[in-house]
Amino acid sequence: MKILTVLTYYYPHWTGLTAYARRIAEGLAARGHQVTVVTSRFRRDLPLEEEHRGVHIVRLPSAFRLSRGQVMPSFIPVVDRLVREHDVVQVHTPMLETWLVGILAHRAGKKMLMTHHGDLVMPSGLWDRFVQLTVGFMQDRGAEIADVISIHSQDYADQSDYLRPHRRKVVAIYPPVEIPRPNPEAVASWRNELGLDKAKLVGFAGRFVEEKGFDYLLKAIPLVLGCMPNVKFVYAGDHRVAYERFFERWQHLVEANREHLVMLGLITDPQKLANFYAMCDVFALPSRTDCFPSVQIEAMLCGTPVVATNIPGAREVVRVTQQGLLVEPRNERALAEGLLQVLREREKYLVPQERIRAIFDPNKSIAAYERLLQSMV
């Protein structure tokens, strides 16, 4: 097949959505399909076109960034041309231009798969509310015009107000997750280097934005330390988010807990990321909303149990693996109690790694997408 993939951010951008999209594109290319990705040139030092791991990337110059999106003046003519040269189109959402891609695809007699990575959730504030309503309206048009919609879990599909009107064309496929096996010697050395040999470690990772709920984790720190003083909280990620000032709102709690926080920064090397997860005794996912965060699967694949909030989509991984605990969302006391329970009885929440790898097998995911796309050609 000749597959055209459209999304706002692609390699070398670093988010869960981008990682999923990249693995699908590269996985399909490895199976012999011709995959072209159209995306934004979100950094001026990036080439307009390049080949990366079998995928042809076309980057469109961005006039400016608008909230989380990029305004690309050449989007319509370029996508219109490429749609005609391919057999089927896949769009990764949230993306404002999804409905435009659908119109261009149908005009060329092609079908469009909309792979939905989660409903758009913006922080509180007048401008952000306006963005959410505007993008949400356009996303609705995109869902209406899509021939098929794929989502990462049936649980999220069943609970999403956005997807509910389109459930007849929704297909659930677990996303492909890949991470190397941790290096025990490197993990021990890193712990020693950080001076954390005698501490219990709670890991957390991701963008420091409102939907991830890190403020609840910061509020839970004193509650955990009151019962277990030797716990440290280790963060992997970049707290500087251009479109949201959430970290600044809660910096006073970061400073108040500075003695118990270790900020590692964004980790992009897969092996180092695996070692980070393995270094932690438990991984915390305190999200307000989340569709299918890859960090919890990555943590489990590295032998670390997860304490996650009991919300649609995010709870799926703990439910199907039993490697962790679900707690009430938006409740720092429930989060603290869950973390303490797993830290005290960690062995109780460990599952054989091969079982988890069998459930979240990236080859199964790629094969499912391949079958779905072939059925649309």
Q: What is the pLDDT of residue 169?
A: 96
pLDDT at 199 over 90: yes
Q: What is the pLDDT of residue 123?
A: 65
> Rounded mean pLDDT of 239-243?
73
Lowest-confidence segment of 235-244, 258-267, 295-304 by average pLDDT: 235-244
The pLDDT > 70 percentage for the chain reads: 96
Q: Is the dihedral of CA 342, 347, 349, 352 positive or negative?
A: positive
Per DSSP, what are the bridge partners of residue 22? Answer: none
Q: What is the pLDDT of residue 241?
A: 73
220 vs 207, which has greater pLDDT? 220
Q: What is the pLDDT of residue 162?
A: 86
Q: Where in the chain is the domain with CATH 3.40.50.2000?
A: 2-177+361-376, 184-359
Q: pLDDT, tens digit, for every residue of 307-326?
A: 999 999 999 999 999 999 99
- Asked: is 2-177+361-376 a CATH 3.40.50.300 domain? The reply is no
In angstroms, rounded to a whole number, what is the distance separating the alpha carbons of residues 64 and 167? Answer: 35
Q: pLDDT, tens digit, for every residue of 94-123?
A: 898 999 999 999 999 999 999 999 876 666
pLDDT at 64 over 70: yes
Q: What radius of gyration do the chain's Cα atoms show?
A: 21
Per the CB < 8 A criterion, the answer to whether 149 and 163 are in contact is yes
Q: What is the pLDDT of residue 14?
A: 85
pLDDT at 125 over 80: no
Q: What is the pLDDT of residue 121?
A: 67
Provide the pLDDT confidence category of residue 54 given band limits of 50, 70 and 90: very high
Provide the pLDDT confidence category of residue 69 given band limits of 50, 70 and 90: confident
CATH of domain 184-359: 3.40.50.2000
CB atoms near residue 259 (< 10 Å): 9
Mean pLDDT for all residues in the chain: 93
> Rounded mean pLDDT of 209-223?
95
Helical H segments across the chain, by residue range: 16-30, 75-84, 98-107, 126-145, 154-159, 184-193, 214-227, 246-249, 251-256, 270-279, 294-301, 316-321, 332-344, 353-359, 362-376
